[in-house]
């Protein structure tokens, strides 16, 4: 099948590459000429395990190409997938200007049937707006061309996006006509040979399903972080509680880890956008308001613990392990590490940070500043620091040399925002150990 993907960001590039890997011919459109040239040269703009190999393999095979020419892209694929950004507006709503601009581009250049698919995460009713925009442009052109609009939200985890696309839990198809459903079923058939994973529903239901999924996961995280505050007060280990409730098959273990809060490009933005949609329709989501409040507060928990331990933080130096919002990505959008660093700087402290992937992204965000040093290794970061803070659960942090750490730290103090270590073991190594939800 011939597919056009509009947008080569996180969703667009993963989608295009994985569809090409199944033998489809894929053309990716982007307005950024520099980015398109870098992709043609095999330079991948994001870090995602396995993505670089898939892009290069399919580009070399001629199944995956990149262009800045909208006419070429619209006339290439019978299926036109919109995977552009939907950044939050000042009021928290999703900004649809790029989605609607893509719809206009398709309508301006199409000369035969096209299936337009929303891959971007968008509010309920966006497919209706895309359909209206296409009809409007076609009327302005004075032509009557058949088309369909569908919603096909992505459910990709950063750090595991390639596996998620190639081995999906479910494939949600929001459609309003049989032709669109048939085309999408054909497209996704190679991804569900073991068993049927397709869930067909209306377009609005598909749009809400995506938001609801992310909101539910965010709710689980904030619930555990709120519970962790109580656990600390009453002398309970939140890890024991996690295991106790996670063993219930109705609950499960996923997204029940207390920590420094959620971040990234999806959960914060989607929770806000869903709340905005609810407010606009007179049905405010009070639970999500609490979810967001808890999360915003939780990002500062390590700094509060450091203030309780040291008093004034002015002039102190803190080692920080982890900058990305989660492992296996360089994404620092809404990362707890950013809140931690900015709070430390505001208190007059300095930071020596280490992250195996996100150092360049950190340098891009903050530039050169005297109160930030990016270390080349975890042990280099702790040398001479007053204490260590852990913000991201990278695997290489799980079993460090505690003896070397203790020797290099000015004070043997660890503030563990991811509960990586056994408190008794670490204290037995001579450390003061402060974690989340474990008194």
Q: Active-site residue 18, yes or no?
A: no
Token couple for 434 = 């402060």
Containing 198, the helix (H) or strand (E) segment is strand 198-201
End-to-end Cα spacing for the chain: 57
Beta-ladder partners of 115: 79, 148
Tokens 């008194």 correspond to: 439
C-alpha span between 149 and 144 (Å, rounded): 16
Q: How far apart (Å, rounded) are the C-alpha atoms in residues 254 and 141?
A: 51
CA–CA distances in Å: residue 34 to residues 37, 42, 44, 79, 388: 5, 12, 12, 25, 40
Torsion of CA 208, 213, 217, 219, to 10 degrees: 30
Cα–Cα distances in angstroms (integers) from residue 70 to residues 14, 83, 105, 135, 249, in the given order: 20, 14, 7, 18, 49
How far apart (Å, rounded) are the C-alpha atoms in residues 56 and 383? Answer: 40
Q: Tokens representing 359?
A: 């150092």
Contacts of 264 (CB under 8 A, 6+ apart): 158, 325, 326, 329, 331, 333, 334, 335
Residues 6+ apart with CB under 8 A from 321: 353, 354, 355, 378, 381, 388, 389, 390, 391, 392, 394, 397
Per residue in 59-86, is it b (16+ CB within 10 Å) or e — as a string?
beeebbbbbeebeebbbbbebbbbbbbb
Question: ∠336-339-341 over CA atoms, to 5°?
Answer: 105
> How many degrees, rounded to 5, is the angle at CA 223 between CA 217 and CA 228?
130
> Which residues are known catalytic residues?
266
């Amino acid at each position: 099948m011939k597919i056009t993907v509009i947008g080569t960001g996180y969703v667009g590039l993963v989608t295009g590459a994985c569809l090409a890997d199944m033998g489809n011919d894929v053309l990716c459109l982007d307005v950024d000429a520099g980015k398109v040239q870098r992709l043609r040269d095999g330079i991948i703009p994001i870090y995602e395990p396995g993505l670089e190999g898939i892009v290069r393999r399919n580009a070399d095979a001629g199944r995956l190409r990149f262009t800045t020419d909208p006419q070429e892209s619209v006339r290439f694929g019978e299926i036109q997938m919109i995977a552009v950004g939907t950044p939050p507006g000042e009021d928290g709503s999703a900004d649809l200007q790029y989605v609607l601009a893509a719809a206009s581009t398709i309508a301006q250049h199409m000369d035969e049937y096209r299936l337009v698919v929303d891959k971007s995460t968008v509010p309920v009713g966006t497919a209706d707006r895309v359909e209206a925009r296409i009809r409007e442009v076609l009327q302005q052109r004075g032509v009557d061309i058949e088309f369909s609009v569908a919603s096909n939200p992505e459910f990709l985890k950063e750090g595991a996006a390639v596996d998620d696309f190639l081995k999906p839990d479910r494939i949600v198809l929001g459609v309003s006509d049989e032709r669109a459903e048939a085309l999408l079923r054909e497209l996704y058939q190679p991804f569900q040979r073991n068993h049927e994973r397709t869930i067909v529903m209306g377009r609005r239901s598909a749009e809400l399903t995506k938001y609801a999924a992310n909101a539910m996961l965010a709710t689980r995280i904030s619930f555990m972080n709120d519970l962790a505050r109580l656990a600390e007060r009453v002398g309970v280990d939140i890890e024991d509680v996690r295991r106790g409730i996670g063993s219930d098959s109705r609950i499960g273990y996923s997204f029940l880890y207390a920590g420094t809060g959620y971040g990234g490009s999806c959960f914060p933005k989607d929770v806000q956008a869903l709340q905005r949609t609810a407010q606009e329709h007179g049905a405010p989501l009070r639970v999500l308001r609490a979810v967001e409040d808890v999360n915003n507060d939780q990002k500062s928990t390590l700094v509060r613990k450091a203030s309780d331990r040291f008093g004034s933080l002015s002039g102190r130096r803190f080692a920080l392990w982890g900058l990305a919002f989660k492992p296996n990505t360089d994404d620092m959008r809404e990362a707890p590490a950013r809140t931690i660093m900015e709070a430390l700087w505001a208190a007059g402290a300095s930071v020596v940070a280490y992250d195996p992937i996100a150092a360049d992204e950190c340098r891009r965000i903050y530039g050169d500043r005297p109160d930030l040093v990016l270390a080349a290794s975890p042990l280099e970061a702790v040398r001479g620091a007053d204490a260590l803070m852990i913000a991201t659960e990278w695997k290489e942090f799980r079993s460090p040399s505690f003896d070397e750490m203790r020797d290099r730290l000015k004070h043997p103090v660890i503030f563990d925002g991811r509960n990586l270590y056994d408190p008794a073991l670490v204290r037995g190594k001579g450390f003061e150990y402060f974690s989340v939800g474990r008194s």
